[in-house]
Amino acid sequence: MSVENLPSEIDTTTPSVARMYDLYLGGVENYDVDRQACAELDRIAPDCAPLARINRAFLARVVRTLVEEYGVTQIIDHGSGLPTQNNVHEIAQRINPDVRVVYVDNDPMVLAHGRTCLDENDNTAVLSMDMRDTAEIFDFAERKRLFRPGARTACLFISVLHCLKDSPDERDPAAVVHKVVQRLQPGDFLAISHLASEDPGFRQRVTDLMHELTQGSWGRVRSRAEIEEYFTGLDVLPPGIVDVRGWRPDPDQAGHDQQRLAWEEWGGVAQVPEA
Ligand SMILES: C[S@@+](CC[C@H](N)C(=O)[O-])C[C@H]1O[C@@H](n2cnc3c(N)ncnc32)[C@H](O)[C@@H]1O
C-alpha cells in the first residue's frame, strides 16, 4: 500500500512491530521508518530475520499438528500480524475446511490488509482489537458462531507476549493468558512463543531500544523461566517448552536451523487439564 493511499489511522512516522516483523519475513508492507528501526535493532540484536522465519515455521507446525493430530476446529490467533504466506486459516483449512479462525491484531495495517487476505471465507474473521480484551474477543467469536460449544479450541500467542508490558492488573501477559485459559475447556490448547535471552544485559538493551523505537508500544524480552511461568497449571505437550526450532521439527528441517543465534524464540504448546 503506497503512503498516499493509506487509511489515516496508519502512522508512517513511528515504526510498527507488525511492519518490522513483515520486513524481517521479507514482506513489502513496511515503510522507511520501519526499515531504519530494523537496521538499528540489528546493530544490537543480530539474528532478527532468522528468528522471524524460525518463529513462523513454528507457528505452521503448531497449527498443522493441532488440526491434524488433535482435532482442533476453532482458533484465536492473538497478535496475528500482517498477512503473509501460509496464514493460519490457510494451513488449517487445507487439512480441514471447517476450521474457523479469528485473527486479532491492534495494528491498523493488519486490518487494512487482513480484510482481503485473512477474512477470506465464512470461517475466518479479522478483529481490530487489543489482544488483552479477552471477554470481547470470545464474545465476538461466539456471537458470529465462529466459536461453537464443545468444539476443540486453540488459542495462539505466537511471538506477541513480549509486546506486552508487565503490569499489576489484568493487562499483564500472565493475567491475559490466565483469562484466556479460563474461557477454554479441558482438552483445549494454548500455544506460546516469546523472544528470550538468558543474558540480562542483552534483555535490557533490546527492551530499551524497542521502547525508544516504538514510542513505548512494546513490552520486554524475558528469560526462559519467565516464559515457562505462563504454562503453569497446564499439561505441556512433548517435547516441552523449548527453543521453538526443537518443537516437533519437520524431518527435512533436521540438520537445518542449528546455528547458534544471539537470542531465541522460546515456547511450546499445552493442553488445559481436566478440572
Ligand atoms: C512479531 S508480530 C507476530 C505475528 C504472528 N503472531 C507471527 O508469529 O507470525 C507481533 C504482532 O502482535 C501485534 N500486537 C502487539 N501488541 C498487541 C496488542 N496489545 N493487541 C493486539 N495485537 C498486538 C502486533 O501488531 C504484531 O502484528
pLDDT tens by residue, 57-109: 999 999 999 999 999 999 999 999 998 888 999 999 999 999 999 999 999 98
Tell which CATH architecture fits domain 7-235+256-271. 3-Layer(aba) Sandwich (3.40)
Given this model, what pLDDT does residue 266 score? 98
Residues above pLDDT 70, as percent of the chain? 95
68 lines ligand 1 (CB under 6 A): no
Residue whose Cα lies nearest atom 16 of ligand 1: it is: 163
61/74 Cα distance (integer angstroms): 16
pLDDT tens by residue, 150-199: 999 999 999 999 999 999 999 999 999 999 999 999 999 999 999 999 99
241/205 Cα distance (integer angstroms): 25
56 lines ligand 1 (CB under 6 A): yes
Query: Hey, where are the domains in the chain?
Result: 7-235+256-271
Ligand 1 center to 234 CA (angstroms): 23
Q: How far apart are the first and last CA of the chain?
A: 48
User: What DSSP character marks residue 274?
Assistant: P
Helix%, strand%, coil% for the chain, nearest 5: 40, 15, 45
Ligand 1 center to 275 CA (angstroms): 31
60/248 Cα distance (integer angstroms): 11
Name every residue whose Cβ is closer than 8 Å to that of residue 270 and which is 6 or more positions away in sequence. Answer: 189, 190, 191, 231, 234, 235, 236, 237
